[in-house]
Amino acid sequence: MSERATREETVNVVWSGNWVAERLGVALEGGDELGDLLGLALRRNPKRAHLLVSNVLGKHVPQLPSVVHGAGYELGERVRALLGPQEARRAVVLGYAETATGLGHAVADGLRDAPYLHSTRRPVAGVAPAGGFEESHSHATSHLLLPEDRDLLAGGGPASTLVLVDDEFSTGNTVLNTVRALHALHPRERYVIVALVDMRSPADRDRLTAFAAEIGARVDLVTRAAGTVALPDGVLERGQALVAEQEARAPASAPPSVPVPARVTRVALDWPAGVPDGGRHGFTPDHRAALEAALPAMAERIATALDAGAPDRGDDHGQGADGDRDRIPAAEHDRDRSPARGQGQDRVRDQDRVRDQDRVRDQDRDQGRVRAPRRVLVLGFEELMYAPLRLGTALEELLGARAEVRYSTTTRSPVLAVDDPGYAIRTRLVFPAHDDPADGPGDRYAYNVAGAGFDAVVAVVDSTADTPALHAPDGLLARLAEHTGQVLLAVVPSYTPTPVQEPAVLPEPLRGPDFSSYAPDEVGWLLQDLSDTELEAPTEEREEAIQSGGAHYAESLPVEYQPSPAYQALFTAALETSAARIARAVGTVTETVLAERGPRPVLVSLARAGTPVGVLMRRWARHRHGLDLPHYAISIVRGRGIDATALRWLAAHHDPADVVFVDGWTGKGAITRELAAAVEAFEASGGPAGFDPEIAVLADPGGCVRTYGTRDDFLIPSACLNSTVSGLISRTVLRADLVGPDDFHGGKFYRELAASDVSNHFLDTVAARFDDVAAEVDDATKDLLAADRAPTWEGWAAVERISEEYGIHDVNLVKPGVGETTRVLLRRVPWKILARRGAGPDLEHIRLLAEQRGVPVEEVDDLPYSCVGLIHPRFTRGATGADGRAVAGGSPVADGGEAVREA
């Protein structure tokens, strides 16, 4: 770098957010350091067009590895000082995939003695999920937790601290979802949330404070900088239009910038045996020590390969006579060199290093020597951030003044590139995914690599990603070769945990009349009988425990609702009115299954709402086709997944490809997503493969599945009652002290409620209408088989909108559709009911239950469902009266004191 360029770095640097700020009026408010830490870019996103781009994270902007690692390490040192050495040793650090996996690792390094785990979107053979959580905007379970040591998350028990690390803290929704899910599994007294920047609004800060008070835990925040993003009115629409305009002008991927593509050379790292490639399954202090010891030798191998393959300095690969003219100016990337460990001192040190590099380069040219490339990029791969980062820090230390080493990683996030000094993403490379991702093929991206003047790129991937797609003509390596003089490929072996051992003996299904009031051939329950165990708790007590994180909803049971005579009469009338409609839907979904999954599918209902539907489908197949289909009921629990022991039993007795999962209806599609993720994780953990996670449902008002009887949102009478319409079986139970790793999930048989049982009456009434609707079923099935039945996820979009409009900020507390709203009124603490204006008799039982519980019913327009039930978003027993009736206005959480502290 010339002396003039160095002076520009410190005196006349353009902020990489200017381009967006000038066009959209977006501004960062908070402090001078925010501009050093963050730039701005644009992306195509229905919720937020702008993107905060970190200059010290090493994801989108190539940065000195020492700066990237130092930013996280310094935050970790601050956490250690906050907790004290003893408590720091008992802490567990959890980072978020994909962006913060390396940052979280560096924070754990700063804590010194803490084990590290990061979430992942990659199911891995050999490890069953220990939990998972969602990002609020996602249509799929976003994050899996796959520790090899199942006790890792428990740490030192309730007194141990969980340290959550993300790159930015924008709204706090993801952190709240995480703490809620993990507190249910392993309650703790203290959490520390770490981020480079805290950009929450005051309302978002208040929500975290209230949540901490609810769960009775201390929550500390450790951040490097804080501020807010000022957004003018209409910024989303104008941002989307600007993105569309720019995309129409620019190529999808940067065109080649060298006349001859570089050769690709594989370099053997000799990665230390037994050291994981990252924190996907846990990374202990012993792993850290072994890696530190091996880093210098691995860096030496990379440096040797760089020396051996370095092109002649006389050939600047199309970059101009001085090698700098056509690249992104170094000063525009180096303006953020004030790293984590200090400010001015490190800036001066980095400037001195660059001057030394320039001097060495000039001496080399004068003396005709060839040395290692002057600018080297170590490029990581999506979640694989820490291994390439530490290779980069070791290479940076080894090469010193001989080369300038930078670090960044590829990503799955699409961002608009604009070649302007005032924009954070100058160029992008586009290439296909090369690790056979669980969510299917798609484009991946490397930003600010093309045109940045890198003489060499060291691409670091794990062995899972070292596939033909990586080496294809349009793959990552080929894209890199178009923009540099040398490409090295370093492959880190993907860590393979010990596979889960299969149990020697599997339990057998339960059948009526010993378990359930259904006939023994109607359904086999893949459950264990917990009828003699006291599991019921008052609804309000359960709700408080669930929302506070003190217990998962599947660890207890609500007291069974006993309908009043008026409500029982309403059920009887609704059944008589809707029997033919239900029969049509049963016939249509069964015929669709037989046509597409026949000839002898195995029906597996999701207990318990799916069980009556599965029995009716079995009856239809026998009545119309003489088929005697196997039918079982299996447990699935939101946030915990499907019963893996039950899946193993099914695979041992049937071909998994024949299994068709059955449920009653869809709401927002939470169970649809849960089942898909659970089956994927089951197979990845070594379970038998071949299960199709697609669900067949009676009604799909949410537009979440492609196999359904109808998409109308109407009253299915089996949703009106609990066990007395479901074979006298409770909802399923999953509690660690009752359900072992080789047990089925649990359930109770309420024999004492036999006098109120209408389970078989419901089945017989609907089945009696099969002949009446046969012709309509044939016509409807023919139309459906020829139609586009792709899920629209209309319901999920509506739930997200309602969650934000009503200030709930948790999609799990919004229950759409008649069936789900009924469950809210029967089992949870309802806050209010939204009813589509003009909805008719299908909502009579909803209005009756709401009246009984003192819950307001609000009529609204433009509701895609007949109704939506809202669970009280901040429930304590102080939020309802002693009888469980809602207090007018919906009291917020009582003041629990200052539970969130910033450190």
**pLDDT at position 319, please?**
39
**pLDDT at position 588, please?**
97
For all residues of the chain together, what is the average pLDDT?
83
- Whether the per-residue pLDDT at 883 is higher than 80: the answer is no
| Beta-bridge mates of residue 443 | 432
What is the band of 503 on the pLDDT scale with cuts at 50, 70, 90? low
Strand 867-871 to strand 814-816: parallel, antiparallel, or no bridges (unpaired)? antiparallel
- Whether the per-residue pLDDT at 345 is higher than 50: the answer is no
- Span 509-522, mean pLDDT? 95
375 and 455 in contact (C-beta within 8 Å)? Answer: yes
Residues comprising the chain, all counted = 903
Q: How far apart are CA 308 and CA 120, in angstroms?
A: 37
**pLDDT at position 640, please?**
76
**pLDDT at position 132, please?**
66
**Least confident window among 368-372, 504-508, 697-701, 783-787:** 368-372
- Whether the per-residue pLDDT at 351 is higher than 60: the answer is no
Tell me the HSE value of 301 on the side-chain side, using a 13 A CA sphere. 16
Determine the angle formed by the axes of helices 65-83 and 101-111, rounding to 10 degrees.
50
Q: Which residue has the higher pLDDT, 311 or 164?
A: 164
Under DSSP, is residue 528 helix (H, G, I), strand (E, B) or coil? strand
What is the band of 562 on the pLDDT scale with cuts at 50, 70, 90? confident
**Residue 58, token pair as written in the block:** 């090493």
684 and 124 in contact (C-beta within 8 Å)? Answer: yes
What helix, strand, coil percent values describe the chain, rounded to 5? Answer: 40, 20, 40
**pLDDT at position 43, please?**
87
- Span 550-560, mean pLDDT? 65
Element holding 187 (H helix, E strand): none
What is the band of 606 on the pLDDT scale with cuts at 50, 70, 90? very high
Element holding 147 (H helix, E strand): none
What is the band of 742 on the pLDDT scale with cuts at 50, 70, 90? confident
- Which stretches does DSSP call E strand in 124-273? 131-133, 143-145, 161-169, 190-198, 218-226, 228-230, 264-267
Would you state the torsion angle of the CA atoms of residues 352, 355, 357, 362, taken in this order, to the nearest 10 degrees?
-160
Strand 814-816 to strand 746-747: parallel, antiparallel, or no bridges (unpaired)? unpaired
**pLDDT at position 539, please?**
52
- Whether the per-residue pLDDT at 331 is higher than 50: the answer is no
**Residue 365, token pair as written in the block:** 């040219």
- In angstroms, how far is CA 446 from the centroid of its own chain? 22
Under DSSP, is residue 408 helix (H, G, I), strand (E, B) or coil? strand
- Span 824-845, mean pLDDT? 83
- Span 840-864, mean pLDDT? 86
Tell me the HSE value of 147 on the side-chain side, using a 13 A CA sphere. 21
- Span 236-240, mean pLDDT? 89
**pLDDT at position 771, please?**
96
- Whether the per-residue pLDDT at 364 is higher than 90: the answer is no
Q: How far apart are CA 515 and CA 679, in angstroms?
A: 27
How close are the terminal C-alpha atoms of the chain, in Å? 39
Q: 597 to each of 217, 689, 866, how far by Cα in Å?
A: 50, 17, 31
pLDDT tens readout for residues 176-217: 878 887 887 788 899 999 999 999 888 888 888 888 888 888
> Please, what is the Cα angle at 465 between 460 and 469, to 5 degrees?
110
Q: How far apart are CA 613 and CA 590, in angstroms?
A: 10
Q: Which residue has the higher pLDDT, 138 or 811?
A: 811
**pLDDT at position 502, please?**
54
What is the band of 801 on the pLDDT scale with cuts at 50, 70, 90? confident
pLDDT tens readout for residues 421-448: 999 999 999 999 999 887 778 899 999 9
- Whether the per-residue pLDDT at 544 is higher than 60: the answer is no
What is the band of 715 on the pLDDT scale with cuts at 50, 70, 90? confident
- Span 340-362, mean pLDDT? 45
Q: How far apart are CA 372 and CA 311, in angstroms?
A: 9
Q: How far apart are CA 362 and CA 118, in angstroms?
A: 44
What is the band of 295 on the pLDDT scale with cuts at 50, 70, 90? very high
**pLDDT at position 827, please?**
67
**pLDDT at position 336, please?**
38
Q: How far apart are CA 568 and CA 586, in angstroms?
A: 24
Q: 95 to each of 12, 60, 194, 521, 632, how far by Cα in Å?
A: 36, 18, 9, 49, 39
Q: How far apart are CA 874 and CA 854, in angstroms?
A: 17
* Amino acid at the residue 773: V
- Whether the per-residue pLDDT at 550 is higher than 80: the answer is no
What is the band of 137 on the pLDDT scale with cuts at 50, 70, 90? very low
* Amino acid at the residue 360: V
- Whether the per-residue pLDDT at 391 is higher than 80: the answer is yes
Element holding 242 (H helix, E strand): helix 235-249
> What residues contact residue 846 under an 8 Å CB cut-off, 6+ apart?
818, 821, 822, 825, 833, 835, 857, 867
Q: How far apart are CA 161 and CA 103, in angstroms?
A: 18
Q: How far apart are CA 613 and CA 703, in angstroms?
A: 19
What is the band of 395 on the pLDDT scale with cuts at 50, 70, 90? very high
**Residue 243, token pair as written in the block:** 């993105």
**Least confident window among 133-147, 278-292, 422-436, 656-670:** 133-147
> What residues contact residue 25 under an 8 Å CB cut-off, 6+ apart?
230, 231, 232, 235
pLDDT tens readout for residues 52-99: 999 999 999 999 999 999 999 999 999 999 999 999 999 999 999 889
Q: How far apart are CA 205 and CA 350, in angstroms?
A: 37
Q: How far apart are CA 119 and CA 107, in angstroms?
A: 15
- Whether the per-residue pLDDT at 321 is higher than 50: the answer is no
Element holding 604 (H helix, E strand): strand 602-606
> What residues contact residue 151 under an 8 Å CB cut-off, 6+ apart?
none
Instruction: Return phi, psi of residue 829, to 5°.
Output: -100, 100
**pLDDT at position 151, please?**
82
Measured on CA atoms in the order 452, 447, 71, 903, is the torsion positive or negative?
A: positive
| Beta-bridge mates of residue 143 | 133
Query: Nearest to residue 846, comparing CAs of 873, 871, 870, 819?
Result: 819
By CB atoms closer than 10 A (0-12, 13-18, 19+), residue 14 is middle
**pLDDT at position 3, please?**
36
Query: Nearest to residue 280, comparing CAs of 124, 126, 73, 132?
Result: 124
Task: Determine if residue 639 is left, alpha or beta; phi over 0 gives left, psi from -120 to 50 gives alpha, anything else beta.
Answer: left
- Whether the per-residue pLDDT at 160 is higher than 80: the answer is yes
Task: Determine if residue 25 is left, alpha or beta; phi over 0 gives left, psi from -120 to 50 gives alpha, anything else beta.
Answer: left
**Least confident window among 229-243, 339-353, 478-492, 619-633:** 339-353
**Residue 218, token pair as written in the block:** 């201390």
**pLDDT at position 885, please?**
39
Element holding 5 (H helix, E strand): helix 3-11
**pLDDT at position 334, please?**
41
By CB atoms closer than 10 A (0-12, 13-18, 19+), residue 159 is exposed
What is the band of 881 on the pLDDT scale with cuts at 50, 70, 90? very low
**pLDDT at position 501, please?**
57
836 and 847 in contact (C-beta within 8 Å)? Answer: no
* Amino acid at the residue 407: Y
**pLDDT at position 564, please?**
76
Q: Where are the alpha helices (DSSP H) in 96-193?
A: 101-111, 173-185
What is the band of 895 on the pLDDT scale with cuts at 50, 70, 90? very low
**pLDDT at position 205, please?**
86
